[in-house]
């Protein structure tokens, strides 16, 4: 592994003029390896007594990172410098996990060792299986994941010391290895079938399919095309820079919280419909539209912003162009449906027609709204046999490696501090307490 030399260096500076005091203050500009320059405002409060105001972090870089790069205008996504399209075509999920965690693609022997390191952790502590009985059978898998992943902290005390690099790596391997087991168990519990122990002779995606759809009384034959498509979907979802769930993991981790607790926080954030929950929302939307002739009426409602109606699976905070992951998924969607003999899937037809209409409608064009990763993924998951409620859990399985790579990077960063944003306070100023009997 080559050492990553930090790319930050001061070039020009930015000058802020405070009109109230006529004071001019220079702030250094930092330059990354690619992407926009960044104004370093760390001294702003000390020098001016002012904060910046940036709800939603639309203009704020919260950290330095070497893991993932996105150029939203060009529709580019790189993992450690490698374009996502090339990885999706030629690589596999275990290699991508290694790349994200360690910074370089593995050699053949490094890959074998890494796969071994992961597979030895695929089982969960037997006592953890009893947690499931505490949930209702109709619990959402993401609710189960939040609880069970958080509970891992109560089982693996030998990998909680975040100051020990070896323990951090063991916790990372455990999380990557156990998430498919935990997610598959959430599904099994919901349908009343026995949990399936992992099979370490299968690869990551194959084993997940086996644990989800296999039953003890029958042999389960992995469909290679389906497994390869799932592996590809896992690669596409593995990391995505400082999105809401990753930023949550970093923020939780900045307090020194253990990795299992941090990933549980990431899972909770991913669940929201504006983030990972969108894949589930897309399918519900397509089902509600129901037929191609109802699309114009739906588009009208979206444009009228009726009751907050949005075209789910469209738009992205960073991509103002086609999400490169959506392109790969759209192609994969046709392959999987072909392999599974799903002819004329009506939801795919509705999705394609929606996309066609939206891409030429002024409302979407002007706002640069393009399909994102979630637009087609749900259709593939449905064809593979996953119930809609499992879609976001699949996202969580894939994103765990990104979260844990970002968490490790943060812990190792000497500039790391507890994350503590400030605020623009608009509430009451100081006032005297009014006793209950004097309140009107």
Residues 385 and 226: their CA atoms lie apart, in Å, by 10
The residue within the footprint of ligand ACO, chosen from 226, 329, 373, 405 (CB under 6 A), is 373
173: its two tokens: 């391997």
Which single residue brings its beta carbon nearest to ligand ACO? 315
- 382, 229 Cβ separation under 8 angstroms: no
- 336, 225 Cβ separation under 8 angstroms: yes
- In angstroms, give the least distance from the CB of 278 to ligand ACO: 3
DSSP 3-state of 408: helix
DSSP 3-state of 397: helix
If the CB atoms of residues 174 and 250 are measured against ligand ACO, the closer one turns out to be 250
158, HSE (Cβ side, Cα atoms, 13 Å): 2
DSSP tag of 58 = T
x-or-dash pattern for ligand ACO, window 293-322, by CB under 6 A? ---------x-------xxxxxxxx-----
If the CB atoms of residues 247 and 372 are measured against ligand ACO, the closer one turns out to be 372
- In angstroms, give the least distance from the CB of 270 to ligand ACO: 8
Q: Does 276 bind ligand ACO (CB under 6 A)?
A: yes
Computed on alpha carbons and rounded to an integer, the radius of gyration of the chain in Å comes to 24
Active site residues: 316, 374
The residue within the footprint of ligand ACO, chosen from 278, 393, 396, 397 (CB under 6 A), is 278
| Region binding ligand ACO by CB under 6 A among candidate stretches 18-26, 254-262, 269-277, 285-293 | 269-277
Pairing of strands 23-30, 82-83: unpaired
The residue within the footprint of ligand ACO, chosen from 92, 95, 374, 409 (CB under 6 A), is 374
If the CB atoms of residues 345 and 361 are measured against ligand ACO, the closer one turns out to be 361
- In angstroms, give the least distance from the CB of 322 to ligand ACO: 13
Q: H or E segment at 216?
A: none
Residues 151 and 130: their CA atoms lie apart, in Å, by 12
Q: How far is CA 389 from CA 182, 243, 313, 393, in A?
A: 15, 22, 16, 8
If the CB atoms of residues 121 and 316 are measured against ligand ACO, the closer one turns out to be 316
Q: Does 258 bind ligand ACO (CB under 6 A)?
A: no
The residue within the footprint of ligand ACO, chosen from 183, 299, 369, 384 (CB under 6 A), is 369
Instruction: Report the length, in residues, of the chain.
Output: 440
Q: Does 235 bind ligand ACO (CB under 6 A)?
A: no
Residues that bind ligand ACO (CB under 6 A): 274-276, 278, 302, 310-317, 367, 369, 372-374
């Amino acid at each position: 592994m080559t050492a990553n030399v930090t790319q930050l260096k001061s070039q020009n500076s930015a000058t802020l003029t405070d009109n109230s005091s006529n004071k001019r203050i220079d702030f250094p500009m930092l330059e990354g390896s690619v992407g926009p320059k960044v104004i370093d405002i760390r001294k702003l409060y000390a020098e001016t007594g002012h904060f910046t105001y940036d709800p939603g972090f639309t203009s704020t870089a919260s950290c330095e990172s070497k893991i993932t790069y996105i150029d939203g205008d060009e529709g580019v996504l790189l993992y450690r410098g490698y374009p996502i399209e090339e990885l999706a075509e030629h690589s596999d999920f275990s290699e991508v996990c290694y790349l994200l965690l360690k910074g370089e693609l593995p050699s053949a022997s490094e890959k074998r060792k890494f796969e071994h390191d992961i597979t030895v952790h695929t089982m969960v502590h037997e006592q953890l299986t009893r947690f499931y009985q505490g949930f209702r059978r109709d619990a959402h898998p993401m609710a189960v994941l939040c609880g069970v992943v958080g509970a891992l902290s109560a089982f693996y005390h030998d990998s909680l010391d975040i100051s020990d690099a070896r323990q951090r790596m063991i916790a990372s391997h455990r999380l990557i290895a156990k998430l498919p087991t935990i997610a598959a168990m959430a599904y099994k519990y919901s349908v009343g079938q026995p949990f399936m122990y992992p099979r370490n002779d299968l690869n990551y995606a194959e084993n997940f399919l086996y644990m989800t759809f296999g039953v003890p009384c029958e042999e389960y034959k992995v469909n290679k095309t389906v497994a390869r498509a799932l592996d590809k979907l896992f690669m596409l979802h593995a990391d995505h820079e400082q999105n809401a769930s990753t930023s949550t993991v970093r923020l939780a981790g900045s307090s020194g919280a253990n990795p299992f607790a941090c990933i549980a926080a990431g899972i909770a954030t991913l669940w929201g419909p504006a983030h990972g929950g969108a894949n589930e929302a897309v399918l519900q939307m397509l089902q509600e539209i129901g037929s191609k002739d109802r699309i114009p009426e739906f588009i009208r409602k979206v444009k009228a912003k009726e009751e907050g109606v949005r075209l789910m699976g469209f738009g992205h905070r960073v991509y103002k162009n086609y999400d490169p992951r959506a392109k790969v998924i759209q192609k994969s969607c046709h392959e999987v449906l072909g392999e599974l003999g799903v002819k004329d899937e009506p939801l795919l037809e509705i999705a394609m027609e929606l996309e066609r209409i939206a891409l030429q409608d002024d409302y979407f064009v002007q706002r640069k709204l393009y399909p994102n990763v979630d637009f087609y993924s749900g259709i593939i998951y449905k064809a593979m046999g996953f119930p809609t409620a499992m879609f976001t859990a699949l996202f969580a399985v894939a994103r765990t490696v990104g979260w844990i790579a970002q968490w490790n990077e943060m812990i190792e960063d000497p500039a790391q501090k507890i994350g503590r944003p400030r605020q623009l306070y608009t509430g009451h100023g100081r006032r005297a307490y009014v006793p209950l009997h004097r309140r009107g």
